[in-house]
Amino acid sequence: MKTAVVRFPGSNCDEDLFYALADLNLNPVFVSAQEESDLSDYAAIFLPGGFSYGDYLRTGAIARFSPIMDAVRHAADAGQLVVGICNGFQILTESGLLPGQLMQNATPGFICDEVMVNITNPNSAFTRAYTSTSVKLPIAHADGRYYADAATLQELVEHQQIILTYQDNVNGSVEQIAGITNVAGNVIGLMPHPERAMEALIGNVDGRGFFESIQASLPA
């Protein structure tokens, strides 16, 4: 079993994500967004945080045209797990793999902090290992305000696609949304960074449950 960490020009959380996956023996492999076109051999695909293509035009808007995104779509359609963290979440919405849009924070500016997050769907492939209904996770974004229209929000609620919400609405996201999945439940986008909360040495291990959930959801 292998997992793919996609490297876009400007990705800067790729190594954090790589080591989080390696720590749980999920065998990560760095994959170039410009050179790879087939992800069928990977059990899960991860789009890391950062500033893909310098966030020019709009966050994630250029990355959506990267050659690898066709392969990401095929993987999602095939039921493989696809994870977008921070900029990865933005890329997934820009690509139409997740509904809604990530916009500038309600109070313009970059937020870098640790915040309390509610696990609103504990039965997902990304949360089932958690024993608590709330966790503390790092955030680092300027364009993390999730927006969707009323009809989309109703669908998210009806299909239990809202996975994480902020306890305090740090960026103005509608319904305090911090992470959602697609209807099938195999594609997730989240603004918090669980890969930055993996080690007791740095004072926070609340991200481990996210990756342990993924580990438990993958075929043996």
Tens digit of each residue's pLDDT (9 = 90 or more) over 34-83: 998 999 999 999 999 999 999 888 899 999 999 999 999 999 999 999 99
Rounded Cα gap, residues 114 and 111, in angstroms: 10
Active site residue 86: yes
Task: Identify the pLDDT of residue 1.
Answer: 82
Active site residue 13: no
Task: Identify the pLDDT of residue 57.
Answer: 84
DSSP 200: G
Task: Identify the pLDDT of residue 126.
Answer: 98
Active-site entry in 13, 36, 141, 193: 193
Rounded Cα gap, residues 188 and 182, in angstroms: 7
Using a 10 angstrom Cβ sphere, with 0-12 exposed, 13-18 middle and 19 or more buried, the burial of residue 122 is middle
Task: Identify the pLDDT of residue 36.
Answer: 87
Q: State which residues form the domain around 136.
A: 3-217
Total domains in the chain come to: 1
CB 91 within 8 A of CB 113: no
Active site residue 15: no
Tell me the backbone φ, ψ of residue 167, rounded to 5 degrees. Answer: -70, -40
Task: Identify the pLDDT of residue 58.
Answer: 87
pTM value > 0.85? yes
**157 token code pair:** 């609620």
Helical axes 208-217 vs 14-23, angle rounded to 10°: 60
Low-confidence ranges of the chain (pLDDT < 70): 220
Per-residue burial over 129-150, b = 16 or more CB atoms within 10 Å of its CB, e = otherwise? bbeeeebbbbbbbbbbbbebee
Rounded Cα gap, residues 86 and 191, in angstroms: 4
CATH number, domain of 191, equals: 3.40.50.880
| H or E stretch at 187 | strand 187-190
Active-site entry in 13, 36, 86, 141: 86
